[in-house]
Structure 1
Amino acid sequence: MNFLKRLLGIEPVKEVTDEYGNEIGKFMPRPEKPVDEEFMLNFKKNGGKFLYCENVNELRLNFSEILKENNWTNCEVYCSKPSISEDFEHTQLTFNKNLEACFFLSDCEFLISNTGAILVSSSQMGDKKLVDLPLNFIIIAKTSQLIKTIGEGLQRINKNHDRNLPTNITTIKTFDENKDSDFMSYGSTPKNLYLLLLEDL
């Protein structure tokens, strides 16, 4: 019916334009979203909480606001990397590897834009599985870690670590316990996750 309306001139054909207003032919491929924009959209769709930080001071400020919002200012934190815990020694947090801690604080391998997932490995989790770690996560990442696909992430891990490849490589992609699961998220462990993304480009 819609085709017939367009054929008879009753329904106008909508023009598709790019970001500059230039008309795009109907057989031309649609322009891809920038990786950072695509990641943000998919990450939020998955239920994640995202805070962009222009510099380290802003990152520390946002981190403090997360602690206040959740009443975590004096709690235990599961953190496997001394380099990260040292950045927050000025807080009243206790850093250890207690699985009963309020939250898990870590960096990540990469941010996957086409799924809005976070790629992690044994470099962050050690020998633990996602299901073993606390429900609440605060992940610190940099804009240079944004990539398109998980395949690209695996290639870069292979290149960066040469022969000492990390094990336990997985993605975190469900950030809302109440979110309806689909086939792609089956078996994943939901985490209440905050992402602090630091500009480094």
Structure 2
Amino acid sequence: MEESTTKEKILKSVRNALINKSDNPFKNTDFSSSVFRAQKEGPEVEFALNLNDNGGTFIYCDNEKGFTDNLKSLMDQQGWTQLASTNPQLNTLLSTAGILAMPPEKNLGFQVSITGCDFLISRFGSVLVSSKLADRNLFVGAHTHLVVANASQVRSEIKEALSALKVKYSTSLPSQIIMITGTGRATTFTKTLPFGALGSKNLIVFMIDDA
């Protein structure tokens, strides 16, 4: 009897393929090992190199005071008078150092945002952030995005960073997870599927040595 629909023909082909399985020609292939080259430098150095390769800027800070000193110098150079931020702990640190940071709704048309991050990924020089930290617009909406991170937040691979994220938010995962790689490039992972998003034109990461 002739099949009446294309669907039936496709299903029959699939059934036949499942019944008549061919031998795996790649039995000796190791799918568990990493396909990436081994990182030559320490994870912090690898992150800095890859971030710079992607058009970002890396600024090392000995401690929190070194961070605020570097930030004030940068603001003076660029002519920035205030920053957009919704992180209370970060805002307190900035306020103590005499740096003005305000929520974006009180700072319409903000050009510079400053946020923390969940993790840094050394392999790609990427910054992993989530909706638990701040509104998505602070990550990708500003012309310049400043990121404050500790050296202890560096992870070698994406897989390691995502695993650490699951531990960090074990009771409730963020609704959005965003990986920022260089300038103008960000990928958002929702709980359903990923989609591309434009990032900030300038990405500057301050890494505080918390060893």
Structure 1 length normalisation: TM-score?
0.72
Q: Is the 8 A contact 1:48 1:176 kept in 2?
A: no
Tell me the SS of whatever aligns to 2:145: strand
Partner of 2:27: none
- Please state if 1:192 is matched with 2:202: yes
Cα pair 2:184 2:199 within 8 Å, conserved? no
SS at match of 2:176: coil
The residue aligned with 1:82 is 88
SS of 1:123's partner is coil
State which structure, 1 or 2, has the greater radius of gyration over its C-alpha atoms: 2
Among candidates 109, 118, 130, match of residue 109 of structure 1: 118
TM-score normalised according to structure 2 size: 0.69
CA RMSD of aligned residues (A): 2.3
CA 31–119 in structure 1, closer or farther in 2 if over 3 Å, else same: closer
Distance (whole Å) between structure 2 residues aligned to residue 100 and residue 166 of structure 1: 26
Contact 1:173 1:188 (C-alpha < 8 Å) held by counterparts: no
Residue segments in structure 2 that go unaligned for 5+ positions in a row: 1-36, 186-195
Give ranges in structure 1 of 5+ residues lacking alignment.
1-28, 178-185
| Number of residues of Structure 1 aligned to a counterpart in Structure 2 | 162
3-state secondary structure, aligned to 2:205: strand
- The reply to whether residue 163 of structure 1 matches residue 163 of structure 2 is no
List, as ranges, runs of 4+ consecutive aligned residues in structure 1 with deviation greater than 3 Å.
29-32, 127-131
Q: 1:39-188 counterparts in 2 under 5 A?
A: 39-72=47-80, 74-75=81-82, 77-89=83-95, 90-91=97-98, 93-98=100-105, 100-126=109-135, 128=137, 130-131=139-140, 133-175=141-183, 187-188=197-198
Cα displacement string for residues 96-155 of structure 1 (whole angstroms, at most 9, x for unaligned residues): 223511311110011101111100100223354844x21111110000001111111111
SS of alignment partner, residue 164 of structure 2: helix
Deviates more, 1:113-122 or 1:157-166: 157-166
